[in-house]
Structure 1
């Protein structure tokens, strides 16, 4: 990876949201996995959620499952049970707001998926 890009991705004084957009089959997931694998060790917790489109197709039950998976993988615990999407949002905000975390959401195809998993920068700790 280009060292300048690497330094920009790891700035310690902000929260970054980066999107990769394009036609199917051009390697977006491959690029995201390569970057994730190179930088994940610089974070307190990390999670690569693949196939968001498939999971979320189950409506709210799918979003709740994704929220639980995000919390468990990022924080290294199996103790998170989310009752509904709104309580999942609150729990993600509470647990991540002071932590430097890396979250990759792969194959997002609807705004409600982002709103339920990573809606705003103030949900996450800086870095």
Structure 2
């Protein structure tokens, strides 16, 4: 939808209301802007892993980050909000397959 209509606000309210039902919850804001910075997707992957208390200095590219995420999240019930996604590659790098996440996980995505 159009910018400024409240998608992020609604996503944050839902996140705050249900996050306690999950083992891990993570709200990744402004993905479109974050990705535009140097190593943006890798940095976002590292941010997500930091919510899992996983040392994230073990990888330097998106492909390795995807493998670590898939292995780390698969047995956890996680709530993940991906705010302001604007490219498929962002989803591929952060939440590509259902098998990456444990049973009962929920992914909320906002996009224009």
Whole-Å Cα distance in 2 between the matches of residues 86 and 104 of structure 1? 21
Higher strand share: 2
User: Could you list the runs of 5+ residues in structure 2 that have no partner in the other structure?
Assistant: 105-112
SS in 2 for 1:125: coil
Q: How many residues in Structure 1 have an aligned counterpart in Structure 2?
A: 103
Residue deviations 1:2-40 (CA, integer Å, cap 9, x gap):
xxxxxxxxxxxxxxxxxxxx1111100000000000000
Cα distance, 1:36–1:108 mapped onto 2, change above 3 Å: same
1:70 is aligned to: 48
Structure with larger Rg: 1
Shift of 1:58: 2.8
If the length of structure 2 is used for normalisation, what is the TM-score? 0.88
Moved over 4 A (4+): none
User: Could you list the runs of 5+ residues in structure 1 that have no partner in the other structure?
Assistant: 1-21
Residue among 24, 27, 33 paired with 1:54: 33
RMSD (Å) for aligned C-alpha atoms: 1.1
Whole-Å Cα distance in 2 between the matches of residues 111 and 40 of structure 1? 25
2:107 is aligned to: none
SS in 2 for 1:30: helix
Shift of 1:80: 1.5
If the length of structure 1 is used for normalisation, what is the TM-score? 0.78
1:102 is aligned to: 79
- List aligned pairs for 1:112-123, cutoff 5 A: 112-123=89-100
Residue among 65, 68, 86 paired with 1:88: 65
